[in-house]
């Protein structure tokens, strides 16, 4: 009987085990989970692929994107219907943008394809137009730097008012925005303007920077350059401070040193350079080749002293072909024929206006000399070649 009960118990246990297998080990359980279908995840991936496919296809076929540009844009913006992007393209076309210009804008800021153009863009165009911007101005600004479209209307109005503060008219302010639209969304511009005002720069100085090289106001290290200019002995309140600032900011250190070396090659000392720079800092914006050509002409061909340029460094800015060479021929004739006073400055004729130069250096003489001087002057640049064939010109 004992054995009968034992056999019954064993059979019951085997039945339970056969219908309830042991639990899998952790590694087995993890493997089984990987085999289970994950419906929600598959659905999300499929939807994402659909968005990707439609966006890339739309950008390449409708907008003229290259496949690479379309893939890059797809990382920033996706859509599954053409409704919004079609409305954006139609908007730009209605406002005078060509398809290539529209494509350029969309490449730079693809997110614009998901905006409502009548709400997000039109008010900004209308504001600019109200201040005198022409349709072509707006097209140029937007194509060059469309990032400002991503800024709010209030930001654009505030930035315009900042520029207008230093501009004599709305048209001048718009000219600045047209020339440098990348500065509109740049937060460094108002910060730098405030810093310059705190340093003592006049409104005229800031207007000069806006008019000549607006990108300077977007500089990350403008404060450092201001300090460098002050250490050279220039006063921020003086009218030429912006010119010095422009020269220092526009010329790299290596370019600066190379230009100084050119001048030293022609006999200048550090003191000569410093004196010339204080008198007319703008001359450092001339290229190395221009500085060298002018010095070569003045010293090697004319045999004159380079100190003239230390006293009147603005001479570097004059055209060799149109001013320096023709007038040098006249001055040489006057000197060789005793028609100039011994104590007269040979520098002055080069800085006179055209009218005064003719009156004082040509038409005031007798017919014989006047005729010869006029011939020399009018033919003064006739033989000047691109490589500065100066000697043949002077001897003609």
Q: Where are the beta strands (DSSP E) in 217-365?
A: none
Q: Return the axis-axis angle of helices 203-212 and 241-250, rounded to nearest 10°.
A: 40
Confidence of residue 39 (pLDDT cuts 50, 70, 90): very low
pLDDT higher than 70, residue 16: no
Please give the pLDDT value at position 10.
59
SS3 labels along 288-301? HHHHHHHHHHHHHH
Q: Where are the beta strands (DSSP E) in the chain?
A: none
When the pLDDT of each residue in the chain is averaged and rounded to a whole number, the result is 83
Condensed to tens digits (0 to 9), the pLDDT of residues 110-146 reads 899 888 999 999 999 999 999 999 999 999 999 999 9
Condensed to tens digits (0 to 9), the pLDDT of residues 344-381 reads 888 999 999 999 999 999 999 999 999 999 999 988 54
* CB proximity list for 305: less than 8 A, separation 6 or greater: 299
Instruction: Note whether 111 and 59 are within 8 A (CB).
Output: no
Q: How far apart are CA 61 and CA 228, in angstroms?
A: 54
Q: Which residue in 89, 104, 189, 96 sits closest to 138, CA to CA?
A: 96
Please give the pLDDT value at position 80.
73
Q: Which residue in 217, 275, 281 sits closest to 248, CA to CA?
A: 281
Condensed to tens digits (0 to 9), the pLDDT of residues 176-223 reads 999 899 999 999 999 999 999 999 999 999 999 988 888 889 999 999
Q: How far apart are CA 173 and CA 158, in angstroms?
A: 13
Q: Return the axis-axis angle of helices 83-94 and 99-108, rounded to nearest 10°.
A: 130
């Amino acid at each position: 009987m004992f054995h009968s009960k034992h056999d019954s118990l064993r059979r019951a246990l085997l039945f339970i085990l056969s219908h309830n297998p042991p639990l899998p080990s952790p590694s087995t359980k993890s493997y089984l989970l990987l085999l289970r279908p994950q419906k929600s995840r598959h659905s999300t991936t499929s939807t994402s692929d659909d968005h990707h496919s439609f966006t890339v296809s739309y950008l390449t076929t409708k907008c003229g994107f290259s496949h690479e540009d379309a893939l890059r844009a797809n990382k920033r913006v996706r859509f599954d219907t053409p409704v919004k992007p079609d409305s954006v393209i139609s908007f730009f076309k209605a406002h005078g943008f060509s398809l290539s210009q529209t494509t350029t804008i969309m490449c730079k800021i693809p997110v614009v394809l998901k905006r409502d153009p009548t709400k997000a863009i039109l008010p900004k165009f209308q504001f600019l137009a109200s201040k005198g911007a022409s349709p072509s101005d707006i097209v140029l600004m937007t194509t060059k730097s469309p990032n400002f479209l991503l800024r709010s209307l209030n930001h654009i109005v505030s930035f315009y008012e900042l520029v207008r503060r230093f501009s004599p008219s709305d048209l001048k302010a718009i000219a600045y925005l047209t020339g440098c639209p990348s500065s509109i969304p740049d937060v460094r511009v108002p910060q730098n303007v405030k810093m310059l005002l705190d340093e003592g720069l006049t409104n005229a100085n800031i207007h000069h920077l806006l008019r000549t090289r607006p990108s300077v106001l977007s500089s990350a290290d403008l404060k450092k350059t201001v300090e460098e200019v002050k250490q050279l002995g220039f006063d921020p309140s003086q009218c030429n401070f912006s010119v010095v600032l422009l020269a220092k900011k526009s010329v790299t250190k290596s370019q600066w040193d190379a230009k100084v070396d050119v001048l030293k090659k022609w006999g200048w000392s550090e003191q000569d350079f410093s004196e010339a720079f204080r008198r007319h800092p703008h001359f450092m914006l001339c290229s190395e080749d221009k500085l060298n050509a002018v010095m070569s002409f003045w010293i090697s061909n004319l045999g004159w002293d380079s100190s003239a340029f230390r006293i009147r460094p603005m001479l570097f800015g004059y055209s060799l072909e149109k001013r320096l060479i023709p007038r040098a021929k006249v001055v040489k004739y006057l000197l060789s024929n005793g028609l100039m006073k011994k104590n007269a400055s040979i520098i002055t004729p080069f800085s006179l206006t055209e009218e005064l130069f003719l009156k004082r250096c040509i038409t005031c003489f007798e017919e014989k000399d006047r005729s010869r001087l006029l011939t020399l002057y009018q033919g003064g640049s006739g033989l000047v070649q691109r490589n500065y064939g100066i000697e043949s010109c002077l001897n003609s």
